[in-house]
Amino acid sequence: MPTACPEPRRRVRPLTRQSRIAVAAPASAALDPRHAEAGLEALKKRGLTVEVVRPMSLKPHGFLAGDDQTRADELNTLFTRDDIDAIFCLRGGYGTLRILDRLDYDAMRSHPKLIVGYSDITALQLAIFCKTGLPSLSGPMVAPDWPKIDPASESMFWRLAGGKAPVEIIGPYGETLAGMKNGSAEGVLLGGNLTMICSLLGTPYLPDLSSAVLFVEDVGEQPYQIDRLFARLRLAGVLEKLGGLVFGAFTRAKPRKGQPSLSLDEVLDHYAQFVPGPVARGLVFGHFTDKCTLPIGVKSSFEVNDTVACLTVNEPITRDV
Of the candidates 57, 64, 1, 68, which has an alpha carbon nearest to the alpha carbon of residue 32?
57
Which residue out of 19, 28, 119, 153 is catalytically annotated? 119
Whether 265 is covered by a domain: the verdict is yes
Note if 119 is an active site residue: yes
Whether 159 is covered by a domain: the verdict is no
Whether the pLDDT of residue 142 is over 50: the answer is yes
Q: What is the total residue count of the chain? A: 321
**pLDDT for 5:** 52
Whether 220 is covered by a domain: the verdict is yes
Note if 287 is an active site residue: yes
| Residue 77 burial (CB count, 10 A) | 15
Which residue out of 19, 28, 138, 287 is catalytically annotated? 287
**pTM score of the predicted model:** 0.94
* Rounded Cα distance, 249 and 282, in Å: 7
Range of the domain at 111: 20-149
Identity at 247, one-letter amino acid code: F
**pLDDT for 255:** 82
Task: Report the number of distinct structural domains present in the chain.
Answer: 2
> What is the arithmetic mean of pLDDT over 125-140?
96
What does DSSP say about strands 298-304 and 183-193: parallel, antiparallel, or unpaired? antiparallel
Whether 49 is covered by a domain: the verdict is yes
pLDDT digits (tens, 9 = 90+) for 258-298: 888 899 999 999 999 999 999 999 999 988 888 999 999 99
Assess whether 303 and 186 both reside in one domain: yes
Whether the pLDDT of residue 321 is over 50: the answer is no
Q: How many CA atoms lie within 13 A of 114 on its CB side?
A: 33
pLDDT digits (tens, 9 = 90+) for 232-265: 999 999 999 999 999 999 988 788 888 888 999 9
**pLDDT for 84:** 95
Whether 171 is covered by a domain: the verdict is yes
* Rounded Cα distance, 19 and 62, in Å: 33
Which residue out of 28, 136, 199, 217 is catalytically annotated? 217
Assess whether 117 and 179 both reside in one domain: no
Q: Residue 64 gets which letter from DSSP?
A: B
